Amino acid sequence: MKINDRVIENFKKPYIVAEIGINHNGDLALAKMMIDIAKKCGCDAVKFQKRDINVVYTPEELKKERKSVFGNTNGDLKRGLEFSFDDYSELFCYAKMNNIDIFASPWDCNSVDFLEQFNPCCYKIASACITDKKLIQKIKNTGRPVIISTGMSTEEEIDDVVSSFDKNNISILSCTSTYPTANEDMNLNKIKTLMAKYPTIPIGYSGHEQGILPTLIAVAFGAAIIERHITVSREIWGSDQQASLEPLELKELVEKINDVKLMLGNGNIKMLDSEKSIKEKLRRY
């Protein structure tokens, strides 16, 4: 089932995206392991990030000193985290073989062309990219469903990117772009604000907090999509690991999301069959 069909399916259960991002640390075997984890835990999709390093970063930025497992410059790090065509081909085949959706956030136009070769189910516009007009047009031209993240964005910037697309082909994620996000910065009520502002567009939540409570609140608010970063362990090297869920946490999150949706019910006011015997015992008048 494609993401646009899944999200619109009466919002019976949120479409759950496991954001692998760059937490694979350039290791194909680790990326596959994370796909396995996402599938086993009940996620609907996995997501990666794709960049043309020489387009996204200036030569000066790439030359900056930054020690990592890949070398001593920022360029060494950024290049080390990128997968090749063969790597992506293997990952897309692996995900499809395991019946889990797979897509990515392209950070530049070249990366859209790159990802188009693999027929992704949709595209995600990262919060950092929603003002990139060329990228937005490039993604729009593919005709694929689009998920728009809204971290570090003004209301005007969100309006602008939303107006660029057919509203029947997009969804919007409430997001705070701090890693990990402090409680006072989450502003979960923004989900309700976005729902009121865009009543015909599915609204979801991209969380960068530690733990799962804020995400469950988002589900209770009616979030149609849930995206959380995942990792095999927060102890391993990597810039996004601390804002990510470990396997047992991801499993618990998916289970509790199902519980929340079950508890919310349909809102109809009526006496339940399970209440009838209690009514006979306790109601006197």
Radius of gyration of the chain (CA): 20
Predicted confidence band of residue 265 (pLDDT cuts 50, 70, 90): confident
What pLDDT is stored for residue 13 in this prediction? 83
Q: Tokens 């396995």 identify what position? A: 36
- Mean pLDDT for all residues in the chain: 93
pLDDT at 10: 41
CB 162, CB 155: distance < 8 Å: no
Nearest-angstrom CA–CA distance, 127 and 177 = 8
Superfamily of domain 3-282: Aldolase class I (3.20.20.70)
Q: What is the pLDDT of residues 132-166, one digit of tens each?
A: 999 999 999 999 999 999 999 999 999 999 999 99
Q: Output the 3-class SS for 211-239.
A: CCHHHHHHHHHCCCEEEEEECCCCCCCCC
Q: Tell me whether strands 71-73 and 65-68 are parallel, antiparallel or unpaired.
A: antiparallel
Tell me what the mean pLDDT of segment 164-191 comes to: 94
Confidence of residue 4 (pLDDT cuts 50, 70, 90): low
* pTM beyond cutoff 0.95: no
